[in-house]
Amino acid sequence: MSDLEFDILDELYFVEPYSTLKNALDVDEVQLKNTLADLLKKGWVKCFDAHTKEPIMEDDLAFDAHYQQYHYLATKEGLLAHNSR
């Protein structure tokens, strides 16, 4: 787990909008986007619709187009990885 992955998971114990996550971390946009994408692939975070607050299923996820509009939450697996570091 990279330091940035750790820091992101540290912020996602509760559902947070992308803007809050971006403001909390001292990282550029591209690096944050790429790391969030990696965490999604690992199953360590999941995305939520900003309006309905419902989880977005993988088939409906348009991460590259809408990542700034999503809300994020660490999964159980992500929290276990975070806490075992």
Q: Using one digit for the tens of pLDDT, what is the confidence trace for 16-65? A: 999 999 999 989 999 999 999 999 999 999 999 988 888 888 778 889 99
CB 17 within 8 A of CB 26: no
Q: What distances in angstroms separate CA 63 from CA 27, 58, 80, 82, one per listed residue?
A: 19, 10, 24, 23
Q: Using one digit for the tens of pLDDT, what is the confidence trace for 62-83? A: 899 999 999 999 999 999 999 9
pLDDT at 12 over 90: yes
CA distance 62 to 20: 20
Is the domain spanning 3-83 CATH 3.30.2350.10? The answer is: no
CB 39 within 8 A of CB 9: yes
pTM, to two decimals = 0.91
